[in-house]
Amino acid sequence: MSSENPSSNNTAPTTTLIHRPRRLRRTATLRRMVQETTLSVDDLIYPMFVMEGEGQKMEITSMPGCYRYTLDLLLQEIAEVSRLGVGAVALFPVISEIKKDDMGSESYNSEGLVQQTVKAIKQAIPNILVITDVALDPFTTHGHDGIVDENGVILNDPTVEVLVKMAVSQAAAGVDMVAPSDMMDGRVGAIRKALDAEGYIDVRILAYSAKYASAYYGPFRDALDSAPKFGDKKTYQMDPANTREAIKEVALDIAEGADIVMVKPAVAYLDIICQVKNNTQLPVAAYNVSGEYAMIKAAAQMGWIDEKKVILETLTSMKRAGADLILTYFAKEVALILANS
């Protein structure tokens, strides 16, 4: 009678495989090689504020490092950021009170501030992509993005008629891309139809497709002196609690002829950026808005954060969420950081 010898058992000893993801974090070279998301100067669009006059550069108190420029100094700043590799600027005008009215009629003045600025930029720095805002709030006495009736109601279709005139006048000035930011229904389709009819078939539309009624816009309204004089913008900008509505708005803008769709704001809406990216084949832009900018600047001034690292991390999060393009007031700073890294 033989006994079984345990040592002759052919079963291999059981081992526990230890996963070691840290192997790929060991060196800076390895980390760069496996990095999933890259922030580039080519991703950036620089929002800029232009005002009337000459030889003036006024810092915006609630946006340290951002300025209102007269056209002569604006051209110098654009030339500098262009040399740094920033390929696009988005213009926002500071309109004097005497030129504002209830209908925003200055918005489509062929000799208006925006139109003159576009012509000057395209003549001086032809390679820079110029994007213009299409909305009435900088041009109206009441500060709303649309025409208001006697009961304080924002009128959709009459507003769209003015927005169309505004977009066509900007196209005539030589703009590369118009960006309707008003959130009126049907405005993308109406603008596309009018641009095509006037022969501006190559003027692109960057649609503010999912623009939320956000509390993050305060410093921007300081910059333009365009805060609404009554009420709020909740009847046309989106409820911050809604996701499905953003997908619907994006789909409508695409159907109407948008070339690029945008989510605004960005930091608190990374989930929306991701969902929009997953539901469209168009490029997706994110707007890193004034309140987001101001919070980083304020914390940095207090010495609470490493400003450069937080800027890069914040913008990278937008790319990671799915943004192809980022409108950011940090564009020049980021270009300098990347150039020196």
Pair 48, 89: CB distance under 8 Å: yes
Yes or no: say if 208 and 181 are a contact pair by the CB < 8 Å rule. Answer: yes
Amino acid at 246: A
Q: Are 241 and 268 in contact (CB under 8 A)?
A: no
* CB-based burial label for 231 (10 Å; 0-12, 13-18, 19+): middle
Please spell the DSSP secondary structure of 23-72, one letter per residue: GGGSSHHHHHHH-S----GGGEEEEEEEESSSS-EEEETTEEEEEEEEHH
Tell me which of 264, 277, 297, 332 is the catalytic residue. 264
Q: Is 297 a catalytic residue?
A: no
The residue annotated as part of the active site, out of 99, 119, 122, 211, is 211
Q: Nearest 10 degrees: CA dihedral of 57, 60, 63, 67? A: -20
319 catalytic? Reply is no
Cα–Cα dist 112/31, whole Å: 50
Per the CB < 8 A criterion, the answer to whether 184 and 210 are in contact is no
Closest CA to 240 of 219, 211, 218, 217: 211
Give DSSP secondary structure letters for 316-331: HHHHHHT-SEEEETTH
Structure tokens at 300: 């940095």
Could you give the residue numbers annotated as active site? Answer: 211, 264
